[in-house]
A and B are shown apart, each in its own frame.
Chain A
């Protein structure tokens, strides 16, 4: 035990000595949360558009004003020739071009239809879909308010929409659980695997193995500091979420912390497993970087909903640890779920921890023999 404590102290000293890495360990979650909170947004604001008005009457002008006054659009240029469309898009100068056909108001006055084309740059498909739906929304509401009678407007079935759990449609509900999953995976799995492999690569592992420390002491000693660091990160992210972005914790905070701890342990056991298969630090990093980071962001439901993926990938997500943690974190934070709702996910997390530990022990024995 005494040796063990001394070993853990040594590990801590290694971490604290390297100021730069420590600073990044602490600063990374904060930077990431702030970027997700403030910079990454699906909202449309001030999108550059161009208007080609072939009619130039009071109604087309009115609609143009409505569009620019909405806050979604900024008028970049008025154009008067069809040849300019392509050029503007290719320069990335505008994202949408609105074309009013001739005799717009005159046609409406005659009881005919006024024609307008909405052309969007769909090289960004989501933005294009949103822009075109906002534009047609504004045009339709102009038509309803200024051209139709009150009676005509009221007819038909109206849908009343309620947004459950997140009435203001804030993105923070998505990115806090996701960021936690990503950062905890990074700190735990990447750091432990690299720091264990480093001892192998530099040859100091041999020295440790002949010391009175048991092999599992060595591994445990490597893991404990990162467990604490990762847990600290989880708490910092949660505090930022709650106090800066108004994230509600509707369920039990203790349950949430317990689940986070489970997830950290899972990531650590994954890190240990990587260290048993990697020959050198470069390989450990490569595996962590490619095999952990991108799937953690893209195959976990963090950014892209799992239901939308092809079936075969949906099955693949079943073996992604972050997927289960994100489900749990969202359920506890946002839906106020209790352990009875998420017992299955919790069980899966625990089963994964045992799987990775068993695999590592098998690999480790192989190596010693």
Chain B
């Protein structure tokens, strides 16, 4: 126990000695959190629209006005030349074209129906879907308001929609916990692994190997400092979320921190396992980067895990990041407690236990 304390003192001294690195470890993730949460947004605020109005009637002008008045569309170009309209799309100056054919007004008056065309740059498929649904909403509102009362058809079913836990569909509330998971995970596992293998690469581990230190003390001394840093990082992140983005933790902090503490042991253990099996920092970096990338992408940070194919969900059973991603959002956004996260918590305890045991086993004090 006493030797562990000395080792810990050494580790912390080393971390605090390197002031640049320390500043980076604290500053960069926070800076990233602020920027990336703002960048990661799917709310479509601004779609540049090209208008081709061949009718030039009251009705067509009204429809165009509805588009340009809506917060989603900005009419950047009005033209009668198809060539010009498509060039604007090709050059990326506009993302959609609204075409109103000749006789639009006459068709409405005579037949009570008419058609318009909306062309959308669909390279980004999900954005295209959103643009499509916005334009449909505008057109159906136009229908409701502009057609004469006698021609109006009211829907026999009234469906209203409620968005629970996030009534304004604020995407930042979804992304902030997600990015926080990544930052905490990278900070913990990756840095700890690099730190450990550095001793190997520089040869200083030999000096430790000839001491009567137990393997578990050594692993613990490498694990604890980064465990503490990662927890502090999480607290900073939550504070920023509250101050800058008004994200309030609905659930209990005790639940959140308990899960985080166990989760961190699991991923730090995995990081140290990679370090124990590698010889150079470059190797550690690459192997952990490979797994981090796959685990992060599959964890459901951007898209729902439930809509992934069956095999991907099976893979997620061994993906610790997926558990944390799920739990952090459950606790922060929905206020889930121990009872609701009991399965995830149990899995994480098993994870933590296994990864620690294996990394202690894999770590060798003797050179073969």
- By a beta-carbon cutoff of 8 Å, the part of chain A in contact with chain B is 18, 20-21, 24-25, 27-28, 31-32, 35-36, 38-48, 89-92, 95, 108, 113-129, 132-133, 135-136, 139-140, 142-144, 147-148, 152-167, 169-171, 173-174, 186, 190-191, 194-195, 198, 202, 279, 281-283, 285-287, 289-291, 294-295, 298-299, 303-305, 307-310, 313, 316, 327, 330-331, 334-335, 337, 341
B38 close to A171 (CB less than 8 A):
no
Of B45, B156, B169, which is within 8 A of A113 by CB? B156
A46 close to B307 (CB less than 8 A):
yes
Given A90-B334, A132-B161, A334-B123: A341 and B90 interface contact (C-beta under 8 Å) = yes
- On chain A, the residues within 8 Å of B169 by CB distance are 122, 125, 128-129
A169 close to B129 (CB less than 8 A):
yes
A248 to B95, CA, bound (A): 20
Whole-angstrom distance from the CB of A85 to the nearest CB of chain B? Answer: 8
- On chain A, the residues within 8 Å of B294 by CB distance are 31-32, 35
A307 close to B47 (CB less than 8 A):
yes
Given A24-B287, A170-B125: A41 and B307 interface contact (C-beta under 8 Å) = yes
Indicate with 1 or 0, residue by residue over B46-62, a CB within 8 angstroms of chain A CB atoms: 11100000000000000
A140 close to B157 (CB less than 8 A):
yes
Apart from A20-B278, A24-B290, A120-B162, what 16 extra A-B contacts exist at CB < 8 Å? Answer: A20-B287, A89-B164, A95-B306, A121-B334, A122-B165, A122-B167, A124-B329, A125-B42, A142-B157, A154-B112, A156-B147, A160-B116, A285-B281, A308-B41, A310-B38, A341-B91
* Cβ-based interface call for B64 (8 A): no
Of B120, B142, B306, which is within 8 A of A46 by CB? B306
B297 close to A308 (CB less than 8 A):
no
- By a beta-carbon cutoff of 8 Å, the part of chain B in contact with chain A is 20-21, 24-25, 28-29, 32, 35-36, 38-48, 63, 89-92, 95, 108, 112-129, 132-133, 135-136, 139-140, 142-143, 147, 151, 153-167, 169-171, 173-174, 182, 186, 190-191, 194-195, 198, 201, 278, 280-283, 285-287, 289-290, 293-294, 297-298, 302-304, 306-309, 312, 326, 329-330, 333-337, 340
Name A147's closest neighbour in chain B (CB-CB). B156
B129 close to A32 (CB less than 8 A):
no
A154 to B153, CA, bound (A): 10
Given A42-B303, A310-B38: A108 and B156 interface contact (C-beta under 8 Å) = yes
A164 close to B89 (CB less than 8 A):
yes
A171 to B41, CA, bound (A): 17
A44 to B160, CA, bound (A): 20
A125 close to B128 (CB less than 8 A):
no
- On chain A, the residues within 8 Å of B160 by CB distance are 115-118
- On chain A, the residues within 8 Å of B161 by CB distance are 117-120, 132, 136
Of A21, A32, A162, which is within 8 A of B118 by CB? A162
- On chain B, the residues within 8 Å of A310 by CB distance are 38
B122 close to A163 (CB less than 8 A):
yes
A131 to B186, CA, bound (A): 33
B297 close to A35 (CB less than 8 A):
yes
- On chain B, the residues within 8 Å of A126 by CB distance are 42, 126, 171, 174
Of A128, A157, A170, A307, which is within 8 A of B142 by CB? A157
A114 close to B165 (CB less than 8 A):
no
A108 close to B157 (CB less than 8 A):
yes
Name A133's closest neighbour in chain B (CB-CB). B133
A159 close to B159 (CB less than 8 A):
no
B162 close to A290 (CB less than 8 A):
no
A98 to B315, CA, bound (A): 31
Whole-angstrom distance from the CB of A335 to the nearest CB of chain B? Answer: 5
B306 close to A47 (CB less than 8 A):
yes
- On chain B, the residues within 8 Å of A337 by CB distance are 90
Q: Can you identify 8 A-B contacts, CB atoms within 8 angstroms?
A: A32-B297, A39-B312, A95-B304, A136-B161, A160-B115, A165-B121, A198-B281, A304-B42
B307 close to A44 (CB less than 8 A):
yes
A345 to B166, CA, bound (A): 39
Given A125-B174, A126-B42: A38 and B120 interface contact (C-beta under 8 Å) = no
- On chain A, the residues within 8 Å of B38 by CB distance are 309-310, 313
- On chain B, the residues within 8 Å of A198 by CB distance are 280-282
Of A116, A153, A167, which is within 8 A of B157 by CB? A116
A157 close to B139 (CB less than 8 A):
yes
A173 close to B125 (CB less than 8 A):
yes
A77 to B77, CA, bound (A): 50
Of B25, B63, B283, which is within 8 A of A20 by CB? B283
A304 close to B129 (CB less than 8 A):
no
Of A115, A148, A307, which is within 8 A of B158 by CB? A115
A171 to B35, CA, bound (A): 25
Of B132, B190, B302, which is within 8 A of A289 by CB? B190
Nearest 9 pairs between A and B by C-beta? Answer: A122-B163, A163-B122, A122-B166, A123-B333, A166-B122, A39-B312, A169-B125, A156-B143, A125-B169
- On chain B, the residues within 8 Å of A299 by CB distance are 35-36, 39
B122 close to A169 (CB less than 8 A):
yes
A39 close to B308 (CB less than 8 A):
yes
A164 close to B287 (CB less than 8 A):
no
- On chain A, the residues within 8 Å of B91 by CB distance are 341
B162 close to A117 (CB less than 8 A):
yes
Whole-angstrom distance from the CB of B17 to the nearest CB of chain A? Answer: 12
Of B171, B293, B309, which is within 8 A of A28 by CB? B293
Given A133-B133, A159-B139, A165-B121: A190 and B285 interface contact (C-beta under 8 Å) = yes
- On chain B, the residues within 8 Å of A341 by CB distance are 90-91
Name B293's closest neighbour in chain A (CB-CB). A32
B157 close to A113 (CB less than 8 A):
yes
B122 close to A91 (CB less than 8 A):
no
A168 to B162, CA, bound (A): 30
A44 to B113, CA, bound (A): 32
A319 to B112, CA, bound (A): 52
Name B121's closest neighbour in chain A (CB-CB). A164
Given A122-B167, A335-B90: A171 and B125 interface contact (C-beta under 8 Å) = yes
B159 close to A116 (CB less than 8 A):
yes
- On chain A, the residues within 8 Å of B336 by CB distance are 90-92
A12 to B82, CA, bound (A): 54
Whole-angstrom distance from the CB of B138 to the nearest CB of chain A? Answer: 9
A162 close to B117 (CB less than 8 A):
yes
B113 close to A281 (CB less than 8 A):
no
- On chain B, the residues within 8 Å of A155 by CB distance are 112-113, 143, 147, 151, 153
Name A289's closest neighbour in chain B (CB-CB). B186
- On chain A, the residues within 8 Å of B297 by CB distance are 32, 35-36, 39-40
Name A155's closest neighbour in chain B (CB-CB). B112
- On chain A, the residues within 8 Å of B190 by CB distance are 289
- On chain A, the residues within 8 Å of B129 by CB distance are 42, 169
- On chain B, the residues within 8 Å of A152 by CB distance are 153
B135 close to A159 (CB less than 8 A):
yes
